[in-house]
Amino acid sequence: MNETRILSEQETAEILAAAGHYPDKSAASVEALKIVQKYRGWVSDEALKTVAGLLEMSPDELDGVATFYNLIFRRPVGENVILCCDSVSCWMLGADRIREHLSERLGIGLGETTADGRYTLLPIVCLGACDRAPVLMVGEELYEDVDESKIDELLKRNGQTWTDR
Amino acid sequence: MAKITVDGQTYDVKAGDNLLKTCLSLRLDLPYFCWHPALGSVGACRQCAVVQYKDESDAQGRLVMACMTPVTEGLRVSLEAPQAREFRAGVIEFLMTNHPHDCPVCEEGGECHLQDMTVMTGHTFRRYRGLKRTHRNQYLGPFINHEMNRCIACYRCVRVYRDYAGGKDLDVFASRNNVYFGRFEDGVLENEFSGNLVEVCPTGVFTDRTFSQHYVRKWDLQHAPSICVHCGVGCNTSPGERYGTLRRIVNRYNGEVNGYFLCDRGRFGYGFVNSERRIRQPMLRGEPVSGETALAHFQGLLGGHTIGIGSPRASLEVNFALRELVGAEHFYAGFAQGEASLAAAILDVLRHWPVHNPSLREVEQADAVLILGEDVANTAPRVALALRQAVRNRAFERADRLKIPRWQDAAVREAAQGEKSPLFVVAPNATRLDDIAEAICRGTPEDIARLGLAIANRIDASAPAVADLSQEDEHLAELIGDTLTAAAHPLIVSGTGCGSLSVVRAAANIALALSNRREGRAVDLCYVVPECNTLGLAMMDERSVKDAFAAAKTRDLNTVIVLENDLYRRADAGAVDSFFNGTRHVVVIDHIRHGTAAKAQLLLPGSTFAETEGTLVSLEGRAQRFYSVMPGSGEIRDSWRWLADAAAKRWSNIDALTAACAAALPEFGPIRNAAPPAGFRVEGEKVPREPHRYSGRTAMFANREIHEPKPPDDPDSALAFSMEGASVDVPPALLPFVWAPGWNSHQQAVNKFQDEVGGALRGGDPGVRLFESPETAEPRWFDEVPYRLRDEARWRAIPLYHVFGSEELSALSPPLAERVPAAYAALHPEDAERLGVGETLAVRLNERVVRLPLRLESSLPRGAVGISAGLAGLFRSDLPAWIAIEKEGERP
């Protein structure tokens, strides 16, 4: 397989640089997967095989690492990944209601992506902001003390196409 | 030793073991999943919880995992305390929330460890009513079924496949309830030990796909203690039969030989027994005749000059019967010419040199290993698996220093990281042990022998020196020689694989050199031989088929009797044809049709390992008895009985024949003790081949006869074709299957049959060793140093082996055949480019031009052509040899 065709030169260089920090290249597994995800949003089978080759691992071994972490995406995700905390503090303060509202507005369930490819809705165990529960994370941004109106506002800011459905 | 208290009872036990193993060795029933005697403890499943008390006054205690608890003096525990029982029942109940209710259609049912443990903990009623998680299953190739919904996430599969067997293409994915054991993508599991997943998995995730084709429950199978016939290792097996067909093979524990594991060739290669190619009827000049007619005709052919050709894939007894029938001087072992001289050379070393031929358990103890010219993973796979354990000894030593018990599997591996005991691979091409090798060297058989001799010289300067050694080889000889000298338990592994006497002898020189450095103490030397009785037959006779052909030419040959041997695999087709053409009568006794059987005027249906009994001598020099699993159907007879009957019933049963063999050839004296004789009884009863739950006995043949037939007699063993008889205190050599109350899974039930769990079988591991190190060794250095051979015009052809395909009988098994490549030739890519050859290669072998598909193999030495060994399309080419590559243009 032509490795350069699957991964960009930039990606390959960054991965090899990360691998260079360790005596055992496979120690850079997570770092390498994050590099791929940074450029592509997710890690395809082909990309994973190529990364495994760079790190001198079997694809099976690397995929074991990739699938263990829920924030390494092995399927395509939308432009905005909404992480919906379902841990105990958020649950006590209405996480279920928040998630239902999001599902209703987006027309998707957990683990799904909107047809226009804008949003993916995923559960997450804890975002480390229990004092401001319930919380959400969209991309890199944390949303605290979330309620229905905040959701509507955030969705409006990110794009309208689906809200009038 | 340590004194411990378990539920108020005190026991004297070995200190330092884990408590689970100790409890099981005490024959206490304590449930477990993730622990395995060969894999150690990881504490993953939490099933073996017990209560540990501080002292006599402690009534509360605390829960601990038995598998993670070292046994120390004064340890007080309870298996029966209510909180321990409740905890264990709770673990099962949690596991069961996701386990399907599919036992009635699951092939593990009836021998399922999960079923056993569920019953043992008393979880008999399900409270959980929710959804169960479901998985998509994968196609894993022709050997293994995958049903992930049944998984309880014990991690044993990846531990045996990856950690123990070195497999790369099975792993664990995701987390929590979604944990998935499988491959990155659908496809054949590549490791040749994949079949062990079936036995190691405590439930029905991995099941035997070949067995699925003709499935019956374990309790409906008739078993016998047997020996694998697909290589020289002599693994102990327990084949199962129903309705006259062989259904599957499972491991039969032997602490000194195969332990808990078999290779896939041995496990899935049984299909030839049920094959369409079986010879089931005597044939006279191509016409079927009755057994009586055939026998009478056979007897009529025995006057005049008669020779017999034996076989290294047949038992000692049947070879000996032929030798007696035709007379020792007219009996030829039936080796190929090269095999005969290699086997003779190996025997000479084992008999007279200061060497010890190690058992596989001893192989695992080696702390430095040199493999000289043998592709062990393809020619004797179970030895390769043992070597893979040997390289862990340095990790164990480090664990000892860190005071980590050796059974703490995860901790020992973590502490060791990549550290391995030294193993050197010197072979003609890449092998599947290269991944654990400290150094690899590749070359032609002559290069290998030269390096071997140089290593011997490095260890002991009185050994013959090698002139003109390359700088690189000199360094390697130093490294290997010094490492072996420094080791406490060095091991040399070599064999017939290269087809080279020089390699065999170089290995012996290294062992002798090491012995000289160790005040004459014997050194471990393991020679791999190709077939299940190569060594035993060579002890009886060392003459090849070529010698038989020569004898035929000197005198007018009346009759030749070929026994369980396809001569077209032993000599060039032209030579075999002319031999048969010059012989008046050709009698062939065998169980499978092949080129030689097609030449027979009289063809007699003999028996496979599954229908007869006999003794085989493994590469360890261990004589082991195998027993018939089922009677031969129709006209099929024990091969030795055809010969005994022709010799006017000289031997009434196999024991008489074994005894005659032992008496005639003193070296075979101990073989009578390989197993109890046919007259042996336990409390006056024979040992049943069928479990006591065997069903349908009164009705299973009702389509033929409504009366229940009398079970067939078995005059040749202490086993009965029956479900009745003695089932306790059975000597290990006679154990057809293992079962203990509450323990239906045989990998687990065997705990109840061992001295201590993972140790020897109670009563001693079966088999008798025929070679112990000679008291007064008489070695003489081998001093013929081969030249470093390179030739501009000719090519050095070397054999390349395939675990699936290179052995004759297993290659006929349909599931295995799916993985057998067609015969091919291989070149180094640069050689191929220089020659301008592409898809195929035309080589001149034995005066015949053969066109073979070409493979590019960058691990091959330059100037060498690899030729596949024993694959359909090209059986025999007497390698290594000098051959010519025919240029396309010059082709006639």
Residues forming a β-bridge with B62: B52
B417 Rama sector, left if φ>0, alpha if ψ -120 to 50, beta otherwise: left
Contacts of B131 (CB under 8 A, 6+ apart): none
Asked if A75 has any chain B CB less than 8 Å from its own CB, the reply is no
CB pair distance less than 8 Å for B169 and A58? yes
Both tokens of residue B156?
Answer: 């044993």
pLDDT in tens, B673-725: 999 999 999 999 999 999 999 999 888 889 988 998 889 999 999 999 999 99
Question: Which of B157, B184, B186, B188 to mutate against chain A (most A CBs within 10 Å)?
Answer: B184
In this complex, the residue of A49, A60, A63 whose CB is nearest that of residue B168 is A60
Q: What pLDDT was estimated at residue A139?
A: 87
Cα dihedral: B570, B575, B580, B582 (round 10): -150
Cα distance from A45 to chain B (closest Cα, Å)? 9
Residue in chain B nearest A24 by alpha carbon: B418
Q: What pLDDT was estimated at residue B879?
A: 87
Q: What pLDDT was estimated at residue B714?
A: 95
ipTM score of the complex?
0.90
CB pair distance less than 8 Å for B169 and A63? no
Question: Which of B171, B175, B176, B191 to mutate against chain A (most A CBs within 10 Å)?
Answer: B171
Both tokens of residue B181?
Answer: 């054991």
CA dist., res. B622 & res. B643, Å (int): 26
Asked if A68 has any chain B CB less than 8 Å from its own CB, the reply is yes
Asked if A64 has any chain B CB less than 8 Å from its own CB, the reply is yes
Q: What pLDDT was estimated at residue B318?
A: 98
CATH number of A2-66, picked from 1.25.40, 1.10.3470, 3.30.1490, 1.10.10: 1.10.10
CA dist., res. B418 & res. B407, Å (int): 18
For chain A, residues classed under CATH 3.40.30.10 are 80-157
CA dist., res. B49 & res. B22, Å (int): 14
Q: What pLDDT was estimated at residue A3?
A: 45
Task: Tell me which chain B residues have a C-beta less than 8 angstroms from the C-beta of A68.
Answer: 173-175
HSE (CB half, 13 Å, CA atoms) of B697?
18
Query: Which amino acid makes up residue B434?
Result: D
Q: What pLDDT was estimated at residue B63?
A: 97
Residues A115-138 have a mean pLDDT of 94
Cα distance from A56 to chain B (closest Cα, Å)? 12
Asked if A63 has any chain B CB less than 8 Å from its own CB, the reply is yes
Residue A1, pLDDT > 50, answer no
CB pair distance less than 8 Å for B169 and A67? no
CA dist., res. B424 & res. B442, Å (int): 11
Contacts of A2 (CB under 8 A, 6+ apart): none
Contacts of A75 (CB under 8 A, 6+ apart): A42
Q: What pLDDT was estimated at residue B789?
A: 66
The DSSP code sequence of B59-83 is: SS-EEEEGGG-B--TT-EEESS-HH
CATH topology of domain B2-97: Ubiquitin-like (UB roll) (3.10.20)
Give the mean pLDDT per block of 10 residues along chain B (892 residues). Answer: 96 97 97 97 96 94 97 97 96 95 95 96 91 96 98 97 97 94 97 98 98 96 98 98 97 98 98 97 97 96 93 98 96 96 96 96 98 98 98 97 97 93 97 97 95 98 94 97 98 97 97 96 97 98 95 88 96 93 95 97 98 98 98 95 91 95 96 96 96 92 89 95 93 96 96 96 96 83 84 87 96 95 95 91 85 95 93 80 76 42
- Of the candidates B456, B462, B464, B508, the one whose C-alpha atom is nearest the C-alpha of residue B485 is B456
Is domain A80-157 given the CATH code 3.50.50.60 in the classification? no
Checking DSSP bridges between strand B206-208 and strand B144-146, what pairing results, if any? antiparallel
> Do B7 and B24 meet the contact criterion of CB atoms below 8 Å apart?
no
Residue A160, pLDDT > 90, answer no
Its CATH class, for the domain covering B355-521, is: alpha beta
The DSSP code sequence of B689-748 is: SS-TT---TTTTTTTT-SSPPPPPP-TTSSEESSS-S--SS--GGG-SS--BTTB-SHHH
> Do B739 and B648 meet the contact criterion of CB atoms below 8 Å apart?
no
CA dist., res. B680 & res. B225, Å (int): 15
Print burial letters for B629-653: b (CB count within 10 Å at least 16), e (below 16): bbbbeebbbbbbbbbbbbbeeebeb
pLDDT in tens, B320-342: 999 999 999 999 999 999 999 99
CA dist., res. B387 & res. B255, Å (int): 16
Q: Quick one: which H or E segment has residue B241?
A: strand B236-242
CA dist., res. B22 & res. B14, Å (int): 8
- In sign, the C-alpha dihedral spanning B374, B378, B379, B380 is positive
In this complex, the residue of B173, B417, B418 whose CB is nearest that of residue A64 is B173
Q: What pLDDT was estimated at residue A26?
A: 95
Domain range list for chain B: 2-97, 355-521, 795-886
> Do B777 and B352 meet the contact criterion of CB atoms below 8 Å apart?
yes
For chain A, residues classed under CATH 1.10.10 are 2-66
Contacts of B735 (CB under 8 A, 6+ apart): B225, B252, B687, B753, B761
CA dist., res. A48 & res. A59, Å (int): 7
For B230, list phi and psi in degrees, rounded to 5.
Answer: -100, 0
Residue A4, pLDDT > 60, answer no
CATH topology of domain B795-886: Barwin-like endoglucanases (2.40.40)
Cα distance from A90 to chain B (closest Cα, Å)? 21
Interface of A with B in 33-52 (CB under 8 A): 45, 48-49
Q: Looking at chain B, how many residues does it have?
A: 892
Residue in chain A nearest B186 by alpha carbon: A60
